[in-house]
Structure 1
């Protein structure tokens, strides 16, 4: 009886995460993404995910992510700090991002001094479509092509999981549609999937301090 009660108590303290990602929009032809469980509280993971200025210190996929205005002029250094981004919250929606990415990703581990592979380096201009701190979700959408040519929106989301909800499920996914979606998949599909997976592994290592 005691053993049964102990098992029941243990089971009741486990939190099983369900996806925190929204459904893929109509017209999506394919997607790349990843998920990984991180042994850290959700707010600790959120802080690392939101601290865009430090991505170069750990991220093998997104080597730079800079907040900018509607003319893609970078925001001031003060407005790009983690504290400033947390204070801005949902008001970041509609602002722009300048992303420097590696597809496929750089080999792990990386830091701010790791040189880029110029053959695999790209710059992308994005619009922040969602910043939802209470739901631990954020998203941005490419702006270089009309959606009929290429649509691409990337979501990153966190959920509580594990014992007492003290672990975090990280999920990230980008869906692609439009006339060039098939071409993009043929050229970059494998590399993009590798990049999402590598970022998940690197995020886990960064947060857990391993």
Structure 2
């Protein structure tokens, strides 16, 4: 089972990447996720996801892919591997010669209990992804606008 969402952001991929990987500041803008740790391959993260209208889920995924300004992935397990696993990913693609960014925010769910668990979390999780996408867009575009305004004023 795969959940995939998408948003275009009016900022270059490196600006999106900077906000997306600054886990320490997620509490300032992100309504869906709290992440502690570092976005480096094989790092263990502490993740809390709170979907709209749902209960907070906590897990400790391992970062599986870090391609700066392009892709971040982690793999988490509920209970133990093979029961309910989720590979979470963010893929950034440049648009308009790199002036804008297409963001894919997705997760593939596998494991013995994935059909059952999906029935309880699927819709809320998708709403959480979409809320995070919209908040990321606001944050990145706001930071970019403030930075550019400050640079013009100097």
How does the TM-score come out when normalised to structure 1?
0.64
CA deviation map 1:91-129 (0-9, x unaligned): x21110001110227xxxxxxxxxxxxx62221111111
Alignment of 1:161-176 (within 5 A): 161-162=95-96, 164-176=97-109
Q: Which has the larger radius of gyration?
A: 1
Residue of 102, 118, 123 corresponding to 1:185? 118
Aligned length: 143
Aligned to 1:93: 41
Instruction: Supply the RMSD in Å over aligned alpha carbons.
Output: 1.8
TM-score scaled by length of structure 2: 0.85
The Cα of 1:143 is off from its aligned counterpart by: 3.6
Please tell me whether residue 39 in structure 1 is matched to residue 36 in structure 2.
no
- For 2:36, the equivalent position in structure 1 comes to 66
How far residue 184 of structure 1 moved from its aligned partner, in angstroms, is 1.4
Alignment match, 2:19: 48
Consecutive unaligned residues in structure 1, runs of 5 or more = 1-29, 68-79, 86-91, 106-118
CA contact (8 A) 2:78 2:85 kept: no
Q: Give structure 1 regions of 4+ aligned residues with deviation exceeding 4 angstroms.
A: none
Secondary structure of residue in 1 paired with 2:11: coil
Equivalent-residue separation in structure 1 for 2:79 and 2:58 (angstroms): 14
- Give the SS at the match of 1:96: coil
Q: 1: CA distance between counterparts of 2:107 and 2:81?
A: 14
Task: Give 1:10's aligned residue.
Answer: none
- Structure 1: distance between partners of 2:64 and 2:140: 25
Given that 2:77 and 2:83 are in contact with CA atoms closer than 8 Å, whether structure 1 keeps it comes out as no
Alignment deviations for residues 158-200 of structure 1 (CA, whole Å, 9 cap, x no partner): 01012x3310011111000111101111100000110111111
The reply on whether 1:133 has 2:81 as its aligned counterpart is: no
Inter-partner Cα distance in structure 2 for 1:137 and 1:206: 19
Over 3 Å counting, the alpha-carbon distance change for 1:56 and 1:208 in structure 2 is same
